Amino acid sequence: MLAQVDEDLEASIRGHLERGDLDMAATTAFRGYGPAVLRFLLSRTGDSELAHEAFSQLGEDVWRGLPGFRGRSSFMTWMFTVARNAAHRLETKPEHRRGRRVTTSKLDQVVDEVRERTAPYLRTDVKDRFRSIRESLPARDRMLLHLRLEEDLSWDEVARVVEGDAELTGAPLRRASMRLRKQYSDLRVRLRRLAESEGLLAPSGEE
Asked if residue 1 has pLDDT above 50, the reply is no
Let me know: does 83 contact 54? Beta carbons within 8 Å: yes
* Band (10; pLDDT cuts 50, 70, 90): very high
Please give the pLDDT value at position 184.
Answer: 92
Let me know: does 78 contact 69? Beta carbons within 8 Å: yes
Let me know: does 50 contact 42? Beta carbons within 8 Å: no
Cα–Cα–Cα angle for 177, 133, 4, rounded to 5 degrees: 40
* Band (164; pLDDT cuts 50, 70, 90): very high
Chain Cα centroid distance, residue 36: 7
Please give the pLDDT value at position 104.
Answer: 60
Q: Which H, E and C letters describe 135-161, residue by residue?
A: HCCCHHHHHHHHHHHHCCCCHHHHHHH
Residue bearing the bigger pLDDT, 26 or 108: 26
How large is the average pLDDT for residues 125-130? Answer: 51
Please give the pLDDT value at position 206.
Answer: 47
- Which range, of 49-53, 109-113, 125-129, 190-194, averages the lowest pLDDT? 125-129
DSSP 8-state code for residue 95: G
Q: What is the pTM of this model?
A: 0.72
* Band (102; pLDDT cuts 50, 70, 90): low
Task: Find which of 144-153, 174-183, 188-197 is predicted with most confidence, using mean pLDDT.
Answer: 174-183
